[in-house]
Amino acid sequence: MRLAAPGDGALFRLVLYGLAGVVALHLLLTGLDLAGLAWDPWLLAALWAAVIAAASLVRPERARRAADERTRLPSDLGWGDGLALVALLVFALFALTLWITIPDFVYHWGLKGHRFFLARGIDYPYLTRGWNWVIHPDYPNLLPELFAVTALCAGTFDEPAAMLWSVAFFALLLGAVREALRQAGSSRFVLQAATALVALVAAAAGIGGMMAGGADWMIALALAAALPPLMRPPDRSGDLQIGVIAAFAAASKVEGLPLAVILLALQWLRPGRTGARGDSGSGSGAGTPPRSTAAVAERAAAAAALLVPVAAVALPWLAAVHRHHLFQDFNSGPFDPARAPAVGGALLAMLAARSWHGFTYGLFLLPLLALDRRLRPAAAALLCQVVFYLYVYFSARVDPVALVLTSFPRLALHLLPAILTGAAIVLDGLSVPRKAPPA
Amino acid sequence: MVAFVAEATGELRGFDARSANANPFNWRFGMAPVVRFSRCMAEARALLPPGTLVAFVSPGEGAAGRGGGGGNDDFFRWRWAAYLLPELDLVRLQDASPPQAPSYLLTYRREAPGRRFELVRQLTGGRLYRVRR
């Protein structure tokens, strides 16, 4: 089973291998924690080398040759790519000054990263302190782990180095967006324009909305990276891609957990899942009983590709939250429809958030994605994620207006890159006859 | 493009004006009040062994809403202090009660409340006290 599909370009391979690498690192750190071993940099380096060696050994020779043939970088770079690069560089420069550091870096992400670095592992005694409810001790720990590993490599906790993770996730996000446009067969102009648009809008929001050092780039990246596999008919590579992307989302942020479930469910239930060696299933969803042993094996392989990465990430996290009593009761509560006026008013106000310059109204383009059959699974994922955010606004045991005001600009970053990309694909498809993606 | 340029130039102007004062809710790295506060915390850091439970208090203390921030100066200074002193366990003075009894009290721009604190060192902008048992 291969992570990259034959039609995936070099940029998207970079995205996929980047996400898979981060998830593998998270699992490595989790394994060390479970084994009671400290995060020693030399031990980590040795284990990481072993992981890379194992990954290259298990790859079949034929797959390796096929992959090597398609690792060329895009040769059709244009003005949109240039603008995207400028946006990324300007964001990176601001991030390195720490001027646009998200307050949550100080309040919890960065603090946890520093504590984990000092403790050489997840510092559960610290997370369980009664007054530390403010640092969201029940959040998934991937981002603080990345900060801690960066500090382990550098020998000291360095904020600008930590900011580079946001730059990296932003860069991967742009790679995923460009690949989605390419795989959709978008015209050159739309590919360039949409890449530039997403880059400039996200950079503006990231700079003006102070989002460097936070985990919101990771959810945005997960949603954008899910576009190509969700646009293709389901296959083994697509299942594994969704599994890895969902695992990455689940490890990143608490909003990534429902996203992981949504992605897995959608990919599993998609119609058109073909059986092994062309056996059965064409035109039917996963709910249809398989008709042969090969089809059963194919379903099992699909289920494993989807579930194993997410289960490996989510189960240890759930066990730790349960074991250390980390879950915060204000995270959830009964659904309260009486909040509608307050939540609605706050949402309307935040649609005009200064740093988004009105682009938040782009969220209303989501229904447009349903006009393209290929984008319907992605549209369904985005819609479910929006519904989840609204549910939290109506149920969390905190002031809903304050919650909307402090979270909406960041949640918009999760959704808008994928929605704008999908909208560009739809509008391009409506204006020109559809083309096959370049080989 | 207009939005991007507007935000970039706006933040550049803000960066140039970082010597101005700001309340703790709006603190950012590099701001003058953060630099002053960091100096005080660095002095305290040198005096306290890692792992020490330290209470913190500064002007503007009050109840902070659980899960919602609440919004008061002491609360946000406490969060910055916790970030700047990661080796320590920092608790707000109002939350410090047995069995989590702190050994020290760190104050910023105010004196210790009451007589059960013994001054250890005057810091730049703050004070470090030992808690009398």
Digit-coded pLDDT (tens) for B20-77: 888 999 999 999 999 999 999 999 999 999 999 999 999 987 655 444 444 589 999 9
φ/ψ (deg, to 5) at A349: -65, -40
CB A4 within 8 A of CB A16: yes
For residues B102 and A199, give the distance between their C-alpha atoms in angstroms, rounded to a whole number: 48
Q: What is the DSSP letter of A271?
A: T
**Smallest Cα distance from A104 to chain B, Å:** 10
Rg of chain A over Cα atoms, rounded to whole angstroms, equals 21
What value does the mean pLDDT take over residues A39-63? 83
Residue A185 — pLDDT band, cuts 50, 70, 90? Answer: very high
Tokens of A271: 């119609």
For residue A215, pLDDT over 90 is answered with: yes
Q: Quote the minimal CA–CA distance from B62 to chain A in Å.
A: 15
Helix axes A10-34, A236-252, angle to 10 degrees: 50
A135-139, A276-280, B78-82: range with highest mean pLDDT: B78-82
Mean pLDDT of chain A: 90
What is the Cα gyration radius of chain B?
17
Minimal Cα–Cα distance from B30 to chain A, Å? 7
Residue A433 is predicted with a pLDDT of 62
Neighbours of A54 (CB within 10 A): 10
Q: Which range, of A124-133, A207-216, A414-423, averages the lowest pLDDT? A: A124-133
Is the pLDDT at B120 greater than 70? The verdict is: yes
pLDDT at A417 over 90: yes
What stretch of H or E contains B57? Answer: strand B53-57
- CB of A332 within 8 A of CB of A396? yes
Q: What's the average model confidence in pLDDT over A20-36?
A: 95
- CA-CA distances (angstroms) from residue A139 to A90, A267, A360, B91? 30, 25, 26, 21
Confidence of residue A70 (pLDDT cuts 50, 70, 90): low
Strands B104-108 and B53-57: parallel
Q: Which of A52-56, A255-259, A280-284 has the highest mean pLDDT?
A: A255-259
What whole-number percentage of chain B has pLDDT above 90? 57
Backbone angles phi, psi at B128, to 5 degrees: -115, 125
pLDDT of residue A72: 63
The pLDDT-based confidence of A334 (bands split at 50, 70, 90) is confident
By C-alpha distance, the chain B residue nearest A356 is: B3
Q: Which of residues 342-381 of A touch B (CB under 8 A)?
A: 355-357, 359
Contact at CB, A201 and B3, closer than 8 angstroms: yes
B67–A328 CB contact, under 8 Å: yes
Consecutive H or E run containing B50: none
Instruction: Say yes or no: A131 contacts chain B, CB-CB below 8 A.
Output: yes
pLDDT at B64: 53
> Could you tell me which residue, A286 or A272, shows the higher pLDDT?
A272
Chain centre distance of CA A183: 19
Q: How far is B100 from chain A (nearest CA, A)?
A: 9
Between A179 and A299, name the one with better pLDDT: A179
Grade residue A45 by pLDDT with cuts at 50, 70 and 90: very high
Looking at the complex, report in whole angstroms how far the Cα of residue B21 sits from the nearest Cα belonging to chain A. Answer: 15
Return the pLDDT at A289: 64
Find all residues with CB under 8 Å of A232, minimum gap 6, and list them.
Answer: A5, A7, A183, A238, A374
DSSP β-ladder status, B117-123 and B126-131: antiparallel
Confidence (pLDDT) at A301: 87
- Asked whether the predicted pLDDT for residue A126 surpasses 60, the reply is yes
**Residue A296 pLDDT level (bands cut at 50, 70, 90):** confident
pLDDT at A115 over 90: yes
Could you tell me the pTM of the whole model? 0.91
pLDDT of residue A92: 97
Most A CBs within 10 A among B1, B4, B9, hence the mutation to make, goes to B4
Cβ-based contacts of A397 with chain B (< 8 Å): 67
A99/B18 CB distance under 8 A? yes
Write out the residues of chain B at the interface with chain A, using a CB-CB cutoff of 8 A: 1-4, 6-8, 10-11, 14-15, 18, 28-30, 50, 64-69, 79-80, 82-83, 86-87, 89, 91-92, 95, 100
Taking CA–CA distances from A407, the nearest residue in chain B reads B68
Q: What is the pLDDT of residues A350-395, one digit of tens each?
A: 998 888 888 999 999 999 999 999 999 999 999 999 999 999 999 9
Report residue A37 as tokens: 């071993």
CA–CA separation, A157 and A164 (whole Å): 13
ipTM of the complex: 0.91
Residue B29, classed as helix, strand or coil, is coil
**Within a 10 A sphere around the Cβ of A338, how many other Cβ atoms?**
8
Contact with chain B for residue A201, Cβ under 8 A: yes
Classify residue A318 as exposed, middle or buried by CB count within 10 Å of its CB (0-12, 13-18, 19+).
middle
Residues of chain B contacting residue A359, judged by C-beta atoms under 8 Å apart: 3
Sole residue written with tokens 């009983």: A289
Per-residue CA distances from B131 to A121, B54, B113, B120 (Å)? 31, 9, 11, 10
- What pLDDT is attached to residue A357? 87
Cβ burial A5-41 (10 Å sphere, 16+ → b, else e): bebbbebbbbbbebbbebbbbbbbbbebbeeeeebee
What is residue B88's predicted lDDT score, i.e. its pLDDT? Answer: 95
**pLDDT of A388:** 96
pLDDT of residue A276: 42
Res A63: pLDDT: 60
Are β-strands B53-57 and B89-92 bridged in parallel, bridged antiparallel, or unpaired? parallel
